[in-house]
Amino acid sequence: MESATQRRYGAVEAGGSKFVCAVGDQSGRILSEARFPTTDPASTLAAMIASLRRQQAECGPLTAIGLASFGPIELNPKSPQHGCILDTPKPGWSGADIKGALEREFAVPVVIDTDVNAAALAEHRWGAARDVPDLVYVTVGTGIGGGALVGGRPVHGLMHPEMGHLLPRRHALDANFRGVCPFHGDCLEGLASGPAILARSGCSLEALAADHPQWEIEADYLGQLCAQLVLVLSPRRIVLGGGVMTQLRLFPAIRPRMRHWLGGYVQRAELHAGIDDYLVAAGLGAQAGILGALALAIELAAAGA
């Protein structure tokens, strides 16, 4: 039998604006990769199948496939909709069965999770939370989404976390902005995502002077998010990624705001002297999603082996 190190795994990151398909190995090395825009489901899934088929011919037969998908998705294995996209405003995609398409084509085990749960898994395996089985990964970009591992395993439950829609308290300098979330207006995504920053100040963070109030507002909302996460999930590390978080000067601004909102309640060295290792930037950058899909495939094969 082949050894685990020789195995080839398929990985698909299904995003709202683009798909990434790759083949990788046990060590987290990506051997080949292709990306293409997300259009209608039929064309996009056909492109996905063709891409993975081509890569498989090049790299060798796949042992398993991991699928890291935009949400909401049905993760309950007992549901007849298991693996499908649930109601989504994205035209045509409600009910789409990306997982089923992969299973039918490749006849290998396929595992699906949210893009952010998968990214949490990749950050745990290869990135900024290697030693930490209890963590939250949050992406702050076009939207805000979070995934969580508890005891090394992704949190599902009723559906999966949707922590981008938590409701922060309004910053004093931000009383009049309505927010951009179509569901809630001024939830976290509505107040602190990339489009929210753009709507409030007419440009992205990096274009604003360091003393522009937008920086303080953004840090405060993300600090509230982190405080809420500490209180509910008690993670051992919080990893922040996504486009907005490439502005690394946000980190030293968020940390004291998180502590402010905790109000001295959770007395742990990790939140004080150790805070620079507690609230950290993603280690895998823009690769977290596709590496997350690879990590899902590796874990599935290991569980079945």
Residues at the interface with its own copies (CB under 8 A): 72, 86-87, 134, 146, 148, 150-151, 153, 155-163, 165-167, 169, 183-184, 187, 224, 227-236, 261-268, 270-271
Q: How far is CA 56 from CA 5, 242, 290, 302, in A?
A: 16, 29, 16, 20
Which one, 131 or 211, has the nearer CB to its own copies?
131
Count Cβ atoms below 10 Å from residue 224 Cβ, excluding itself. Answer: 23
H or E, element range at 70: none
Which one, 18 or 153, has the nearer CB to its own copies?
153
Q: CA 143 to CA 196: how far, in whole Å? A: 9
Q: CA 122 to CA 124: how far, in whole Å? A: 5
CB of 165 to its own copies, least distance (A): 5
Which one, 229 or 288, has the nearer CB to its own copies?
229
CB of 75 to its own copies, least distance (A): 9
Which one, 53 or 236, has the nearer CB to its own copies?
236
Amino acid at 30: I
Task: Return the DSSP state at 276.
Answer: G
CB of 233 to its own copies, least distance (A): 6
Which one, 87 or 211, has the nearer CB to its own copies?
87
3-state secondary structure of 2: coil
CB of 163 to its own copies, least distance (A): 5
Closest-CA residue to 170 (of 202, 192, 203, 155): 192
CB of 146 to its own copies, least distance (A): 8
CB of 25 to its own copies, least distance (A): 29
Length of the chain, please? 305
Task: Return the DSSP state at 287.
Answer: G
